[in-house]
Amino acid sequence: MTMVDITGKPEVIREATATGTIKLKAETMRLIKEGKVAKGDPLYTAKIAGVLAAKKTSTLIPFCHQLPLTSVKVEVEVLDHSTVQVTSTVRTKAQTGVEMEALVAATISLLTIWDMAKQYEKDAEGQYPSTVIQNIHVVKKVKENIQREISSERKHEKTQDYSS
């Protein structure tokens, strides 16, 4: 049983994108769109919760390394009359990848939407007959070979710019 030893691996720029959806009632979706959810804006709150959660990944997933995330973006989109999609993209310059951070961000964002909307999703017995989170997966992982990059920069006198 062990956390993988990454001591000897080089630090390279890494990016991962994860996504998932939550199915809500049409009535709840209408309240969200009209800004009438009593607890506040579910979509904006979800984004913030997702960013904060990404930074806590190594305290939630036992064998994840502590990675200094250099970018966390969480996008929330209304797909149709009953579906909200959350997509998170995380970056770091580190010795291992950030797909778990992206997955944690997306998942906690989706759960935050649930929490914000839960009073409208419960039925008369206090149950959630239709609310469900679906299809959480990794869209893409990217690892930049810094060595190659440096060589190519020297050839083309062009720097790849990641700063915002």
Q: Shortest Cβ distance from residue 26 to a second copy (Å)?
A: 18
Question: 82 near 60, Cβ under 8 Å?
Answer: no
Phi and psi at 59, nearest 5°, equal -95, -10
Whether residue 5 lies in the annotated active site:
no
The tokens of 101 are what? 């951070």
Q: Which is nearer to a second copy, 29 or 76 (CB)?
A: 76
Q: Which is nearer to a second copy, 31 or 133 (CB)?
A: 133
Is 5 or 155 the residue whose CB approaches a second copy more closely? 5
d(CA 80, CA 83): 5
Q: Which one of the listed residues 5, 41, 115, 123 is annotated catalytic?
A: 115
In the complex, the smallest distance separating the C-beta of residue 147 from a second copy, rounded to whole angstroms, is 14
Three-class SS state of 123: coil
Residues annotated as catalytic are: 115
